[in-house]
Amino acid sequence: MEFVPFPKIPRLSRPIIITEKIDGTNASIYIFAANEISIEGIHSSHPDAIFQTTYGLGFGHEFGCCIAAASRNRWLTLDNDNAGFAKWVKENSEELFKLGPGHHFGEWWGKGIQRGYGLAEKRFSLFNVSRWNKENLPACVDVVPILGEDYCAYGYDNAFIELIMLNLAHVGSIAAPGFMQPEGIVIYHTSGNVLFKKTFENDEVGKGNG
């Protein structure tokens, strides 16, 4: 039988990073070695989900790289898309390969998606602000705005979090300046590697009681 150890408990009194929660649809890009196709199960079950293979990118293998798009719970194809995200990934694949191997999670948002934010286009904003910033992003990609960082010496500082919320309500969205109905914030606990969300509307109930 398999031994299952009790997981290490992270300390609560550690830094947090607060970012703007964007109201769009969850999306991700997966970049992987072409020789992983069979073991990843993408090719056999969803061959149309692989949009492009590029060779000679120097990722430490000789088989080139592939790119695929996904929503929160499924691979996307051009015929079974999610608000045009798969189409956008295909059209921007050459630039998106600069993200490098791995899963890249973010929000697909803007025109025609949820709040829309008054935009005439759709955007993809990555969640990992510890890795990505305006200086190292591909030209076609954004990153969610950082609203504040704090070291919580005695656990979560509710006063600091409320101040961030009040400021966001006052100035409006940072991701889409001028839009005065932002959704809320996401709190990332660095030691626990866990995310929490807090919204202006229905925060006590949430979507699907989540």
Residues of the chain above pLDDT 70, percent: 81
Question: Using one digit for the tens of pLDDT, what is the confidence trace for 164-187?
Answer: 999 999 999 999 999 999 999 999
Report whether pLDDT(204) > 60: yes
Position 114 scores a pLDDT of: 97
Report whether pLDDT(39) > 60: no
Contacts of 199 (CB under 8 A, 6+ apart): 21, 183, 184, 206
Question: Using one digit for the tens of pLDDT, what is the confidence trace for 136-151?
Answer: 999 999 999 999 998 8
Question: Using one digit for the tens of pLDDT, what is the confidence trace for 61-93?
Answer: 445 778 889 999 988 888 889 999 999 998 998
- In the chain, domain spans: 15-21+146-209, 25-143
Position 35 scores a pLDDT of: 67
The CATH architecture to which 25-143 belongs is 2-Layer Sandwich (3.30)
Specify whether the CB–CB gap between 196 and 19 falls below 8 A.
Answer: no
